[in-house]
Structure 1
């Protein structure tokens, strides 16, 4: 039987949310039917993970739409690089007889060129809710509408943001919620606690995610400070790093923590591939993204680890968490409400366990890897056949 070659393009090579989702797709689609070919713009841990999975992967430094290009010189550099590397991608698509291109983020615009100059079908997988700049939001929506054969949104909130532009037709976009494997719940709880000198009986409140302008690390610190002051047995754990060139966000976070009287019980850790060990050390998970987070993979990972999750009530988190059942949804930017909900969980062990168990069941039932891969596969089949 003929194998269908699918080219996957992505915006990086790390192991955060969208990176992991791409890895789950290429590692789990039917290799008897599909032959995945991955081209990434840089080297990194995702490259080695792809190779471990037996996937053909190479590095080609095509440009990614980042804020650094939002100036006159940057625009010129981007256009020059875009044309140069898009031509190379076109040659690969034609030479390899690639039938379908899966563009895994709106920051990768090379799919537009491939739609124009090859016969490949284009799947645009949208992991972002673009709020501003408005011009970029409108431009991305225009490109999605006119240069994709099928757009996949990771959440209903992400889909609605595209439709609200007045540019993207509702029929153009389908929602497929991400799913994850259960590998994130297999680690021993004591490893990280011993590493960081956290007592085994301490209550650990954690947040895992990219350190940037909108993930909400500052709100997280503000919310846990009163709890740390009242409870000597509570520790806080933050895991994550900034993009290269955005280290200023990390510096601000370090300085903020250093100014606090409770700093000895706040543990800042850089991004790690062994993230399962850190989930195992937690009792409560928090994600206070100050902008709508499309469909945060870390929430699914926390749920699979039987952790209650407290988050702001917008974006994909609203579709993942059942308020008062698997955790709490708080009004966006309401730090006081975050503190109140965390207080409830810190003070009630049985409530934490009950919510965590329900979160685990919900993740497996509605956000499993098998359901996710099955639905993505159907998109491929519908376009190729």
Structure 2
């Protein structure tokens, strides 16, 4: 099929309530998905729709918030491509994604604007945008560096993102890495994640109840408790926290999360590490939980332990909103969130010695200094990362993208139309 679809309705260009189709590659609930969940439910636009390229709990979470969502799973070959995959494997999967761009024609053609929320979704979004003449926005939640992506995947993502109407970066660090990889700075707006402070205020109001319930379930009394929240991955540094526990007698560690994207070997390694260091009785694996605000109330300190720069660091903001002391790895978005010795403490990424020293220093803070730090951190989190403000910023980007798409296919569009015809040919071959 060639380009017979209707273009964006001019009457709706520049309208934040236009029909936006949000695409995400996974059905799991990672940081990018939690961010999208808050954005779409916060926009409360009845014409918005989310399209997932994999089944999973993200779909039910969206439905619980009243969001219109459908799932069109990618083929096994396309779904298996990872950030570190080489060019050959990525090229083979591209054929599957070309085919998939046709399979989602019905939902794409209803939309005024496409919104890619993840890297793999960007590939499908771009293919669909070119084929069906739709403007698109890319929300970049990753630091495009060799720590996370193969060279071929970085080049592909930058090439596609540079053809979006606009790019949203979740931190200045994410923006800087994008530009360093060849991305166009003029396309990018930085929009931090927003969080609903009310959830954390409610948990604080019942702090004694939550603290007792969680600690009693784990057989804990007044022992110091560190909480580390997030999916299990080597670069997230859970192993460092377990190793540090040897130097923190009587201190317990709550690991809230699990393996998400095929990292089961690392999850097994964490359990083995706890046994090897003789701290298995003080490391508690809680799995993924949807009562994070309540669990944070049982912690004395929340730890962020990534060994590579974090694109943003949602859990750090959650801890600040929960009035919990924060120790975070210096670098990436974490260093943008935490002011060292003002709203939390930072340590050198990957350094067990520095981590231990900072943890001991934080636990030894005087009560007055601790309370002042908690107050500053909570106030700053509410001011800088409030959800309504961040949704307003996203809506401004969407308006701008719709307004700039007026001449997308009518002026200077010869090359794109030619490229679209090539995609038509690729799709026929892929059949």
TM-score by length of 1: 0.91
| Alignment match, 2:239 | 218
- Give distance in 1, aligned partners of 2:124 and 2:241: 36
Deviates more, 1:49-58 or 1:367-376: 49-58
| Alignment match, 2:263 | 246
CA contact (8 A) 2:243 2:277 kept: no
Structure 1 residues 54-93: aligned runs within 5 Å? 54-62=66-74, 63-64=78-79, 66-67=81-82, 70=85, 74-75=89-90, 78-93=93-108
Deviates more, 1:45-54 or 1:58-67: 58-67
1:119 Cα offset (Å): 2.6
1:273 Cα offset (Å): 2.1
Consecutive unaligned residues in structure 2, runs of 5 or more: 1-10, 204-209, 404-431
Quick check: 1:52 aligned with 2:64?
A: yes
Consecutive unaligned residues in structure 1, runs of 5 or more: none
Structure 1 residues 194-209: aligned runs within 5 Å? 194-199=216-221, 201-209=222-230
1:206 Cα offset (Å): 1.3
- C-alpha spacing 1:69/1:153, structure 2 compared with 1 (3 Å): closer
1:213 Cα offset (Å): 2.2
1:307 Cα offset (Å): 1.3
- Give distance in 1, aligned partners of 2:84 and 2:71: 21
| Alignment match, 1:41 | 53
Please give the secondary structure, in 2, of the residue aligned with 1:107. helix
Quick check: 1:363 aligned with 2:381?
A: yes
Q: CA RMSD in A?
A: 2.1
Please give the secondary structure, in 1, of the residue aligned with 2:195. coil
Structure 1 residues 1-385: aligned runs within 5 Å? 3-31=17-45, 35-62=47-74, 63-64=78-79, 66-67=81-82, 70=85, 74-75=89-90, 78-94=93-109, 96=110, 98-108=111-121, 109-132=123-146, 133-146=150-163, 148-165=164-181, 167-182=182-197, 183-187=199-203, 188-199=210-221, 201-228=222-249, 232=250, 234-348=251-365, 350=367, 351-385=369-403
Q: What whole-Å deviation, never above 9, does each CA across 1:252-296 have from its counterpart, x for those lacking one?
A: 001001122232122122112222222121111111211111001
1:56 Cα offset (Å): 0.9
CA contact (8 A) 1:308 1:327 kept: yes
Q: State which structure, 1 or 2, has the greater radius of gyration over its C-alpha atoms.
A: 2
Bigger share in helix: 2
- Give distance in 1, aligned partners of 2:128 and 2:300: 47
Q: What whole-Å deviation, never above 9, does each CA across 1:179-206 have from its counterpart, x for those lacking one?
A: 111214533222211111111x222111
- C-alpha spacing 1:107/1:76, structure 2 compared with 1 (3 Å): closer
1:72 Cα offset (Å): 8.4
- Give distance in 2, aligned partners of 1:327 and 1:362: 11
Q: How many residues align?
A: 374
Please give the secondary structure, in 2, of the residue aligned with 1:138. helix
- Give distance in 1, aligned partners of 2:53 and 2:214: 32
Q: What whole-Å deviation, never above 9, does each CA across 1:145-187 have from its counterpart, x for those lacking one?
A: 12x110000000000001112x212101111111111214533
TM-score by length of 2: 0.82
1:68 Cα offset (Å): 8.5
Bigger share in strand: 1
